[in-house]
Amino acid sequence: MPSNRTPTAVLDARGSKELKYGLDRSAEPTTDQPLGPPPSWLSKEVKAVWRSVAKQMLPGVVMHSDRDAFELLVRLTYKMRTDFDRMKGAEMSQLVSLFSRFAMTPADRSKVAVSKPKASAISKYLTPRAPRPAPVTAPPAPFEPAAPDLSVN
């Protein structure tokens, strides 16, 4: 059975060779809308799990268009936290699969490289400088006159 297709956002965060060499995903639909707040139909407890899991997400991996899959992840996480003994094997398997798809397992996190945000042009003026250290000077060497040359030529 073939493995699941890795999302482009995860491949891009990894710096994957698949994107660099020949894999054309330029026509893939994208969004820049963030995940957003939990839906109104969720209970108060599940909304708290939504916020907790959303804080754990890697930047740029989950977006607004992923809300339904993310809701399933949240509901299964809630069930795992509140009623773990009654979870079925299929539910646990689905939860692990969703963790993997959202890069939330140690193995998946190790494949993702998050770049540091670029500094703006003005940030160098807003960041205070560290004080310069005082110059280190060696004490002057004592003066000794050169010995006269007494050799005979």
The structural domains of the chain, with segments of one domain joined by +, span 8-113
Give the Å distances, CA to CA, from 80 to 50, 90, 151: 13, 12, 98
* pLDDT bracket for residue 109 (50, 70, 90): confident
CA nearest neighbour of 30 among 60, 68, 52, 59: 60
Predicted confidence (pLDDT) per residue in 58-98, tens digit: 877 888 888 899 999 999 999 999 999 999 999 999 999 99
Rounded Cα distance between 79 and 87, Å, is 7
Distance CA 6, CA 2 (A): 12
Distance CA 72, CA 75 (A): 5
Per-residue pLDDT reduced to its tens digit, 117-140: 566 666 666 666 777 777 777 776
